Every structure is written in C-alpha cells, then in structure tokens.
Amino acid sequence: MKKFNILYVILATAALSIYATNSYNSSQNQKTEESANKEVQGKNEIPEVDSEQKVTCPPLPEKMTFAGQNIPMDGIDFKERLDKEIIVNMFRHSHTLLFLKKSKMYFSIIEPILKKNGLPDDFKYLAVIESGLENVVSPAGAAGVWQFMKPTAKNFDMEVDKFVDERYHLEKSTEAACEFLKRLHRVYDDWFLAAAAYNRGQGGISEAMEEQGVNSYFDLYLNSETARYVFRMLAVKLIMENPEKYGFYIADDQYYQLPDSKEIKVAETIDDLKIFAKEQGTNYKSLKLLNPWIRSSKLPKGNKPYTIKIPIKD
C-alpha cells in the first residue's frame, strides 16, 4: 500500500508538470499570435494624413486655346490624355520646378524672337517639352534647347562642327525653330499639325493623314511620342501660366536670371579661349557658360564674325 501511494504521488506530480508546461506553452503561443496580429494590424492601418500631403487630382479646364486655335475638349479620349500629362508634370516635382525656375531666363530671349517672326507666343512651351530649357543631347543626337538634328540644323543655316555648334546658340536656334515651324504651318495651315511634324517629321505626319483619311491632329492614330506631344505642350502651358494652381510656389527672387553681359565681335582666330577670357576680364568657365555654342578651347576664323558674350561684373 505504501509503495502504491509513492507511485501515485510520482504519477500525479508528473501529470501536473506536463499540464503546467502545456499551459505555459499555450499561453506563450497565444501571446505571440496576438502580438503578430497587432503588428499586422498596425501595418494595415492607414494613418491620418495632413491635408497638405494628400494627393489630389489636377483641375481640368472647361475650354482652352493654343496658338489662337480652339481645342476640341469633347474628343473621345481628350480629357484622359490631357489629365495624364498634367499629372506627369505635377508629380515630377524636381523636373517641373527646375524648368519653372529657368523660364524667365530663357523666355526673355525666346519670346521676342517668336514675336518678331510672327509665331504664336505659346510655342515657347515647345522648347520646354523638347529640352526642359536645357542644352541637352538626345539619344538620337538632337541637341540644344530646340533639339535640332545635325542635318536639319545645317538646312537652317546653323553652323555645326567640332569648334562651333549653333544648336546650342539660343538666339540662332530659336530663329531656326521659328522658320521650321512657319514652313510646317504653310504645309498644314494648322499649328497642332505643325507641332506634331516638328516632332515626327513632315513625311511621317503627311503619310499618317493620308492613310487614315483625317486632317486633325486629335483624330490621328500616332506613335506614342507624337500622340503625347501636343498634350504635353498643353499641360505645360496650363502649369506655367498658373503654377500655384498646380502646387508650385516660386517667389520672384527664386527665378534664375541671366547675368549681365556685353557683346564683342570676333573676326580672327582665337587660339586659346582661356587666355582670351583673361584678357577680357573674366575666366574660361564664365565664357563657356555664356557661350555654350563654342565647343572647343579654340575658335578658328569663320566665314562671318562671331558675337561672343562677356559677363559684366558688378
């Protein structure tokens, strides 16, 4: 009997130990599961967002003109295409902010040339979508603010070689862009088609019009780049004419400005522009910044005198 009692006590103690262990493990598992659930819930919860941080849809105009022409706002896909380009430019913050800040600097040169050539002022926005108002080079080799290819530039009497590339000369390339656009307008009698042909080429646009039997840019089925081209101009026009409406706030003193400069004419070869810059009271860097069309450290004598800008120090 005594042995039986001892055995009973041992078995009871073992059972209690197993029960306690299982209870502890169950409790720990439950806590772990609850903790995991709370963590997942925390991740899925949407935090309250300050009203200034909310992403909102851009306003679309009820009517709009470009280059004096009315825009068909009731087209089958017009609003969606315009909305897309506004959104793209609204939320490419750094890119859009930079061309807004550059606008006064570049437009002060572009606008008078457009006016002199009888071009609608709205075509300054073509320069924006082509280059972002920068002297960039495309993968295809188009260069400068107006993005001319070498053969096209030469067709419009721009000098392009290893010493001089007038695609980077803002005044001369703007004059060439005006002449190019006027030629295209004489062909199509329509500024939207002229702009599309500036992008794709006259042959490509004329062929598409003939094949599809339509005479409006907005009715043409085009490659993606040209199909977006005019809508990009429209979106940029809306944003640049009223930047605050689209979330861009720039104080007057935050716009970039051109430095004061003087012009000198050079008819002879300049063997070393670094020395030349020093002789003019400036430095090579400033000379190149104001004259990006000079592509070398030497400027040979040309068929015409060159006009070089020299910065004027305060």
**Where in the chain are the domains?**
65-254, 261-311
pTM of the entire predicted model: 0.82
The mean pLDDT of 12-34, rounded to a whole number, is 48
The backbone torsions φ and ψ at residue 309, rounded to the nearest 5 degrees and listed phi first, read: -90, 135
Of 145, 172, 147, which is closest to residue 158 (Cα–Cα)?
172
**Distance, CA of 147 to CA of 136 (rounded, Å):** 8
The token pair at 174 is 């703007």
Could you report the per-residue pLDDT of 160-216, keeping only the tens digit for each?
999 999 999 999 999 999 999 999 999 999 999 999 999 999 999 999 999 999 999
> Residue 30 — very low, low, confident or very high, per pLDDT cuts 50/70/90?
low
> Residue 129 — very low, low, confident or very high, per pLDDT cuts 50/70/90?
very high
Max avg pLDDT among 14-23, 71-80, 140-149:
140-149
- The average confidence (pLDDT) of the chain is 87
Write down the pLDDT at residue 51.
52
Could you report the per-residue pLDDT of 233-246, keeping only the tens digit for each?
999 999 999 999 99
**Distance, CA of 58 to CA of 96 (rounded, Å):** 15
Helix (H, G, I), strand (E, B) or coil at 265: strand
The backbone torsions φ and ψ at residue 142, rounded to the nearest 5 degrees and listed phi first, read: -70, 140
**Distance, CA of 167 to CA of 286 (rounded, Å):** 19
What CA–CA distances, in Å, run from 143 to 107, 146, 149, 258?
18, 7, 7, 21
CB-based contact 96:90 (threshold 8 Å):
yes
Of 215, 216, 191, 202, which is closest to residue 114 (Cα–Cα)?
191
Is pLDDT above 60 for 3?
Answer: no
- Top CATH class of 65-254 equals mainly alpha
> Residue 53 — very low, low, confident or very high, per pLDDT cuts 50/70/90?
low
| Pure H helices in the chain | 2-44, 78-90, 93-116, 124-131, 150-155, 170-188, 191-200, 202-212, 224-241, 273-279, 284-290
Is pLDDT above 70 for 73?
Answer: yes
